Amino acid sequence: MAGTPVSEKKADLIQGVTQLLKDVLGKNPATTVVVIDEIATDNWGTDGETVTA
């Protein structure tokens, strides 16, 4: 949902990562793509258990 706290945080993350890539690696923000790939916590795990366990 647009305008939700989560979407606002994602926008902040995208802006921050873009700025970091510009500052550290000299990347052009106009050609920088940031992808947030959300994976449900029951689809990954650590120490032999899913994260939702």
What is the CATH topology of the domain spanning 5-50?
Macrophage Migration Inhibitory Factor (3.30.429)
C-alpha 24/C-alpha 16 separation (Å) is 12
Residue 53 and residue 45 in contact, taking contact as beta carbons nearer than 8 Å:
yes
pLDDT at residue number 15: 98
| pLDDT > 80? residue 34 | yes
Taking CA atoms, 46 is separated from 37, 39, 40, in Å, by 18, 14, 14
End-to-end Cα, the chain, rounded Å? 27
> Between these two residues, 53 and 23, which has the higher pLDDT value?
23
pLDDT digits (tens, 9 = 90+) for 4-27: 779 999 999 999 999 999 999 999
Give the mean model confidence (pLDDT) for residues 32-38: 95
C-alpha 34/C-alpha 14 separation (Å) is 6
| pLDDT > 80? residue 2 | no
pLDDT at residue number 30: 99
